[in-house]
Structure 1
Amino acid sequence: MRVAFVDNLLLEQRPDGYHFDLQPHLGLISLLAVLQQGGHQGTLIDPKLEVSSGRMPMDVSLYENIAELVLASQPDVVGMTSLGCNFMATAKIAAHLKHRSPELPVLLGGPHASILDLPVLQRFPQFDLVVRGEAELTLLPLLDRLSSRRFSGLRGITHRSAHGVHRTPDAPLVSDLDTLPPADYSHYPVAEAGLSLLRVEAGRGCPFACTFCSTASFFGRRYRLKSAEQLCAELDRLHETYGISHFALTHDLFTVNKAKVREFCEAVTPRGYTWTCSARMDCVDSELLGIMGQAGCRSIYYGVETGSPRMQKEVAKRLDLSLFRPTLEATRRAGMEAIASFITGYPQETAEDQEMTLDLIGEAWNRHAGTLTTQLHLLTPEPGTELLDQYRDQLEYDGHISDFNLPALEADDANITRNDSEIFVNHHYYRSVLPRQRHVLVTSLYRTLCRLSRDVQRHLLARYDNSLSALITDLLSWAGAHTDPPSDAAELLQAYGADRWGAEDYLLSLVRYLLAASDPVRGACGGRADPSESRTDTAQPLMQLSPRATMLRDIHACPEILDVLSATPAPETAEVSAELRARRGHYLLLPGDVDLTVRNLTISGDSVRLLTFLETPRSRPEIARHIGVEDSGSGAEVLGELLDHLLDLGVLRRGEPHLTAGV
């Protein structure tokens, strides 16, 4: 059989905009290896590749376009996987598949469908069957029985018949992961995606019982880790095939079994690979971290979840927060970076709980500059969790898109999501002790503050006794006292700063400068012209200011001030000279084409006036008249040199010939 597997359309909202995590789906490439072992043919289709490459726009046409791509592979069976945050995309793609090819079997797997198998099949006829849990032991016998639809005795299947939806008993877990064939990465365009790191499954299962997490509901509570021999053999194969030496070992809790981690470190050290992993802070110690650092570990993801001891107990994370500081310090000493992740928006969370989380983040910004990344996520209700069982009657919907939730693309997406809180629970929220708007604003402000440099973050916190909660609490109070505060978090922070610090404060300039340099919208628009504007020239080639460029008028000497702050270890003692505090000018920010660097150009008042004029597309004769030169003879030569120089710098871009409005 020819089986087409379709990956999630998974995106993440980051401080710099939406991000697509281009990596092979580990579950699907494991199933592709099982398929090949069973004599079948497999294809992997990743919608993220199509959108991130620009081959498919992320608009109303996307779901149908993906379905056409799937059908172009001429599959006998389609296997789809989904998370709750993007289940709408999975359901819509499957509906287009069924419309175009009604007899094509469409199978569904993954955590969301495994937990909500019955309601999914009852409400979405485009899916024929759900494969629950780990599918490696189920897939081949399922394909053998698919044409006859005789599933008696086959475990882990939920299927539809003329008599309704039927559920067979759960399939067993894969007890020994070493018995599975190595995941088949050959179906993913590693080179095309430009990957310098590959994700590798290190194990499955979680023995803990956090009330907000559904990992154990899918992978079971039995902790399983591949042997050091097996894991190193997989890394060797990937290195030999793709030349990659940096790997992300995927397991929520890699270090639960310290003895096995030591075995892996001993085996991997001579190979010279570098790698990352995830761990609980109470499942590492200084000795183990030192061994991991020497074995090539470069970064560890720690799920802290809350800075409140009370909330640690409430959500059954039960992490001893006294481990936070020494664990981060031990991670740094071992030569590794750390990621500390937090969540806010729990239904039981009070203002004091939230402030404790914010202050732990703020302390980390001050203590661990350069070696720590922090995250603050808005809580997402998850199916199969104790928290949902407790607070199901407090679910509400406001349409807010956070973190991983896919925005609405088709006209009915929002209504479907709003009206089905069981299937689309990830898009809803819990009514909680604190107002919903506070949680949304706090996480939005956090993302905005993350767009500032670490030196500016520390310098800013120094004005609030090094307390992130004091800053955000005062900002929330300020916003609440104004009848119409800006809804955009970046604009809100700047309006607050202008009022609280004063329009002449260099800190406000730094905030303006860094937010402009990290603007996630820059480059996303097609231009700045007003289509209704009357034009005097017809059919003229146009030039305009690049939509990726940003002008900052009358602002402090931010590059020089940033140099001062970076050279001062203690932000509260940073002295910005009176000369720097007085110096102001105009800047043009131009992001690089390849990396995230931003070129900073100092521009004169005349240049500001010209570039302001060019925010609207202009023809060459219009530009000539604006700057007062003749577009002939020596004047034409001067004008040509000027425009060519601005084009070469990337300040301007060429436009299409434009006809006068109304023609």
Structure 2
Amino acid sequence: MRVVFLGIGAEQIGVELLSAVLKRAGHDVRLVFNPSLFDDRFQLRIPALARRFDREAALVQQAIALSPDVVAMSVLSSTYQSGLAMARAIREATGAKVIFGGVHPSAVPEVVLEEAAIDAVCVGEGDEAFPAMLDAWARGDEDTPVANMWFKRADGQIVRGPQSGFIQDLDALPFPDKALYASEFDVGDPYMTITGRGCPYRCTFCFNNFWAKLPQRSGVKGGRYVRQRSVAHVIGELKAAKKQFRLRFVDFEDDIFTVDKPWLKSFLEAYHAEIRVPWMCLSHPKYVDEDIVRWMKEAGCTWVQIGIQSLDEQYKHASMRRYETVGDVAWALDAFRAAGIGVRGDHIFGGPGEPADAQEVARKFYVAHPPKRISTYWMTWLPGVEMTQKAVDQGVLSVEDVARLDRGLSPTFHDNGAVRDPAELRRFTNYEALFRILPGLPPALRERARAEWFNGIPVPALKTLAMAGDIVLGFANRHPSHRQYAQHYARQMVRHVMA
């Protein structure tokens, strides 16, 4: 079968893995990618420019010209509506089957299948479910349940497949099909990959909060949720990438790259000996120590991303299920800074019930233990996670609000998120602007800087200024994502103009 994946805004490792699985099974796989410039759902949202560079209609025609048998998309809440509109138009023109998978459909499969344009939803991991669904369609079998798949029969009835356990042997999967995205991104810089799956934590705002429990829906044991590829398997992928894609920088996208210390030691020794390319990763204060920081530096790590989210310890424990202490965070930031590894710390505004003084507590912490960059996000209600359900139970969200969330109509984490009160919006926007520029200030000015300095600037203008400040600081600090993001936008804008 010919399968056309739809992509919006960013490269997706999960799609690359599925493409490799499907190609191994003999299917023809293509990609139609919408760069969605200036509304990419991940970093930038400038509506006036987004309309100027909109390519959705042309990309729908591109997909139609490929005559797909199946149209597929891995969907986030922020990409659901756009993906649905494209899939609907392609299906109407070609009669192709449509499969949606990923985080959003897995949280609310019954809502997604209410859409006439959607024929199947992959709930959870799709490495085995996706090819099994294609085989069933090829046989004309619309009655036999497929594990991890919900699909419609010709009469509209929904067949709900049971949930299976998580794939335990990750080495049995092929290397991700990076060639799928090679015409859209310079996949060698950064080369994005994962060395394992799963996270040991269940933060109440994160998809792992419900994803880890999916097998329980069918009363089966899921097996180990945190799983690791072998060192040899990952090194084999990276050695192949060096030959094929001129590897210059690696971005390890594991939820916590440092989760398994013995594995990490073996891997970083092999990486330093055989790959020797600068790299960055995500980590966690509970999963770093002096040995790990030293090994990372010796193996060429230049940046690490750490989720800080809040510096109110009691609130984090009770409302976010995050159990690291402020001391843990301080130690990690100081240790990485001393080793010469840049830290990008993630901070969330608008957590429900967070004490009013939490941002001032955070300011004082960041002055004493400055990351090299503070990335700011706004708490966003998402389907399926514990924090959203608590908001419903507490009457913060109405039935109508939840219906909008389930259909992907929620604000994004770079907008105002869940914040509705004008006074809170003012206060949080002031602190957002401060936190974004704080790492770049001289120590003496950093000590004196206050959120109140920004009171005279209108909120929309301040948000723009804060974004500009973050961009300038990112380039000044040589954060790899800024350079790579700029190169990607330049390439896509030229392509748009030349089209």
| Distance of aligned partners of 1:50 and 1:185 in 2 relative to their CA distance in 1, 3 Å threshold | farther
In structure 1, the partner of 2:280 is: 276
Match of residue 352 from structure 1: 357
Secondary structure in structure 2 of the residue aligned to 1:384: coil
Equivalent of residue 242 in structure 2, options 235, 239, 251: 239
**Structure 1 position 194, deviation (Å):** 7.6
Match of 1:84, SS state, is coil
Tell me if the contact between 2:203 and 2:209 (Cα under 8 Å) persists in the aligned partners: no
Matches within 5 A, 1:367-378: 372-378=372-378
Deviations 1:84-134 (A, max 9, x none): 122111111122223323x21111111110111011112x21111101111
Q: Provide the C-alpha distance between the structure 2 equivalents of 1:72 and 1:487, rounded to a whole number of angstroms.
A: 45
* Higher RCO (CA < 8 A, seq sep 6+): 2
Tell me whether 355-364 or 446-455 shows the greater mean CA deviation.
Answer: 446-455
For residues 451 and 256 of structure 1, what CA distance do their matches in structure 2 show? Answer: 28
Native 8 Å contact 2:33 2:59 kept in 1: no
- Residue 6 of structure 2 is matched in structure 1 by 6
**In the alignment, which residue of structure 2 is the partner of 1:440?**
425
Local SS of the residue matching 1:152: coil
Q: Distance in 2 between matches of 1:254 and 1:451?
A: 25
Match 2:260 to one of 242, 257, 262: 257
Instruction: Map residues 583-598 of structure 1 onto 2, 5 A cutoff.
Output: none
AA of the residue aligned to 2:387? L
The match for 1:176 is 169
User: Aligned equivalents of 1:333 and 1:389: distance in 2?
Assistant: 41
Task: Confirm or deny that 1:27 pairs with 2:14.
Answer: yes
1:213-612 equivalence runs, <5 A: 213-218=206-211, 222-271=225-274, 272-314=276-318, 315-365=320-370, 372-392=372-392, 393-395=395-397, 420-424=404-408, 426-427=410-411, 436-449=421-434, 452=437, 454-456=439-441, 458=443, 460-464=445-449, 471-472=450-451, 474-475=452-453, 486-490=458-462
Counting only pairs closer than 5 Å after superposition, residues 102-251 of structure 1 correspond to structure 2 as 103-122=95-114, 124-147=115-138, 148-161=140-153, 162=155, 164-189=157-182, 193=186, 196-218=189-211, 222-251=225-254
CA change 1:270–1:515 in 2 (3 A) is: closer
Alignment-mate amino acid for residue 268 of structure 1: Y
Q: Is the 8 A contact 1:202 1:231 kept in 2?
A: yes
1:41 paired to 2:41: no
CA deviation profile, 1:6-46 (whole Å, cap 9, x unmatched) = 12x23xxxxxxxxxx4x3x1111111111111111111222
Partner Cα separation in structure 1 for residue 70 and residue 116 of structure 2? 16
List runs of 5+ in structure 2 lacking aligned partners: 41-48, 214-223, 474-484, 488-499
Letter of the structure 2 residue corresponding to residue 276 of structure 1: M
Mapped pair 1:69 → 2:71: no
How much has 1:266 moved relative to structure 2?
1.6
Deviations 1:189-241 (A, max 9, x none): 25864852110121111121211111253356710111111111111111111
Question: Partner of 1:59: helix, strand, or coil?
Answer: helix
Contact 1:33 1:183 in 2 (8 A): yes
Structure with the largest fraction of helix = 2
Q: Does the 8 Å contact 1:486/1:492 carry over to 2? A: no
Asked whether the 8 Å contact 1:421–1:428 carries over to 2, the reply is: no
Q: 1:419 to 1:153 in 2, by over 3 A?
A: closer
- Counterpart of 1:29 in 2: which secondary structure? helix
Q: 8 Å contact 1:417–1:427 — kept in the other structure?
A: no
Q: Distance in 2 between matches of 1:104 and 1:517?
A: 42
> Which deviations, in whole Å up to 9, do the C-alpha atoms of 1:321-363 show, x marking residues without a partner?
1122221121123331111111121111121223223332343
Amino acid at match of 1:312: K
Alignment correspondent of 1:90: 83
**1:44/1:187 contact within 8 Å kept:** yes
Shift of 1:77: 1.0
Query: 2:374 is paired with a residue of what secondary structure?
Result: strand
Percent identity over the alignment is 22
How big is the shift at 1:424? 2.6
8 Å Cα contact 1:81/1:109 also seen in 2 = yes
Instruction: Identify unmatched segments of 5+ residues in structure 1.
Output: 11-20, 398-415, 465-470, 480-484, 494-510, 520-593, 597-663
In the TM superposition, residue 391 of structure 1 has moved relative to its aligned partner by 1.0
Distance 2:464 2:3 in 1: 50
Distance 1:595 1:132 in 2: 34
TM-score of the aligned structures, taking structure 1 as reference length: 0.62
Q: Secondary structure at the match of 2:203?
A: coil
CA contact (8 A) 1:351 1:434 kept: no
Output the amino acid matched with 2:397. L
CA distance in 2, matches of 1:160, 1:29: 26
Higher-Rg structure is 1
Distance 1:353 1:391, change over 3 A: same
Distance 1:595 1:93 in 2: 26
* Code of the aligned partner of 1:126: A
Count residues with an aligned counterpart.
450
**Deviation at 1:518?**
5.8
Inter-partner Cα distance in structure 1 for 2:313 and 2:282? 22
1:187 is displaced (CA, Å) by 1.8
Q: Measured at CA, do residues 168 and 444 of structure 1 come closer, stay the same or move farther in structure 2, by a change above 3 Å?
A: same
Counterpart of 2:51 in 1: which secondary structure? coil
C-alpha separation in 1, matches of 2:237 and 2:39 = 28
Q: Residue 177 of structure 1 contacts residue 203 of structure 1 at CA under 8 Å; is this kept in 2?
A: yes
Task: Mark the CA change 1:335 to 1:40 in structure 2 (over 3 Å): closer, same or farther.
Answer: same
| Counterpart-to-counterpart distance in 1, 2:321 and 2:294 | 29
